[in-house]
Amino acid sequence: MTASTLSAITHPPQTTTRSRLPMIDVAKGVGILLIVLGHNRIFSSHYGDAANFLAAFRLPFFFFISGVIFSAANRSIGNVALVRADAWLKPYTMALLIGGMLKLIVGKETVESVLLGIFYGTGFTLGWNVLWFLPHLWLLYVSVSILVKYGQELIDSWPKKIGLLLTFLCLGFYVMGSFDTVADNPACDRIMAVDPELLHCGLPFSADVLLLSATYFLLGHFLATPARTFRFNVIGMAIAIAVSLMLNAQYGFRIDFNMRRYDSLLISTVQALAGIYMMLCVCTLLARIPKVQALLSYIGRGSLMILICHAQIQFPLVAALQNHVPPLLAGTIAFVSCTAISLMLWEICKRNALLSTLFLPLNWKKNPAS
């Protein structure tokens, strides 16, 4: 490590504006990279322990950071729903329509399966199953906006906030557990027609996991100020890492809302909380290195396009490379390539009037850093 790097870590750069915080921008970038890595089949199959370690907190951390930056101040619920639909449901729908038409041509989809995927919006109805996150995030954002606007008496003190979080956590664990998974119902792998099995596997827009995702989203919202002013603590980070490693070695539990997995109400929650604290420490350190901060912040700003495109690029790359180069190299190439290509597509969309209208929020030019 060079002297300049050490100096950068010791003396973090100052944010240039009050509205943007380097650590939060970095956290958004790290969050989407963890999602991409989790969908890397070589990483999952060859490095199972590491994959389980990350899967124990990856989604909770992503929802937590989303809660930290959540704001619906002075907006009607209708406006929130419309603006978020423009940001998330519009590109989700366009990607599924384009992908669906291509699959219709080669006979891998039907009109019914494409429309079912768009309107039901769960992993088991989508051929492009990683997109389940976008309709769920819309539902989550609107639901929390309703709570914040009309349920202030439920969250006006810390005892009430803690009580609400525990209630959501316990009820969410029970509700999600009442639905089938692929392990006990093979139909839940993919449903391509309107069928009674739909309601056995999950609710539209993955509403059956809403209480669990809202637990971590609201935790981030409630702790927004401490998170935004977070200070690295070496002892706290060491404890968080030790707890995460110990529980992962002992249990190997995962959290995967798309697959309806939350392996233990107690252990998985402790792992998620330890992982969130650990990642806040890591992101705080990364934000102190200017070039790393700039890169991860850029990745975070392009996270929507990465989320939409990465799987369709990474999966075939892994399949093409895995029998020709060492697994680690194949996985690394696929990981880096799908991220880079997704960002290139994002830049193309920003520069094309039609593509920006179809895939980017209508007001993105007014706030290009968002």
Rounded to whole angstroms, the Cα distance separating 268 from 255 reads 7
Rounded to whole angstroms, the Cα distance separating 370 from 325 reads 38
pLDDT of residue 261: 94
Does residue 64 register a pLDDT over 60? yes
The answer to whether residues 309 and 265 touch, using CB atoms and an 8 Å cutoff, is: no
pLDDT of residue 17: 36
Tell me the per-residue pLDDT of 247-284, one tens digit each, with 9 for 90 and over.
Answer: 999 999 999 999 999 999 999 999 999 999 999 999 99
pLDDT of residue 72: 77
Selection from 30, 95, 55 nearest residue 259 by Cα = 55
Domain boundaries, the chain: 3-359
- For range 311-326, the mean pLDDT: 91
Does residue 8 register a pLDDT over 50? no
CA angle 24, 64, 359 (to 5 degrees): 70
Tell me the per-residue pLDDT of 98-151, one tens digit each, with 9 for 90 and over.
Answer: 999 999 999 999 999 999 999 999 999 998 899 999 999 999 999 999 999 999
- For range 232-238, the mean pLDDT: 95
Q: Which residue has the tokens 């702790």?
A: 223
pLDDT of residue 367: 57
Tell me the per-residue pLDDT of 15-58, one tens digit each, with 9 for 90 and over.
Answer: 333 356 888 989 999 999 999 999 999 998 888 899 999 999 99
pLDDT of residue 50: 92
pLDDT of residue 5: 40
- CA of 67: how far to CAs of 71, 215, 327, in Å? 8, 10, 36
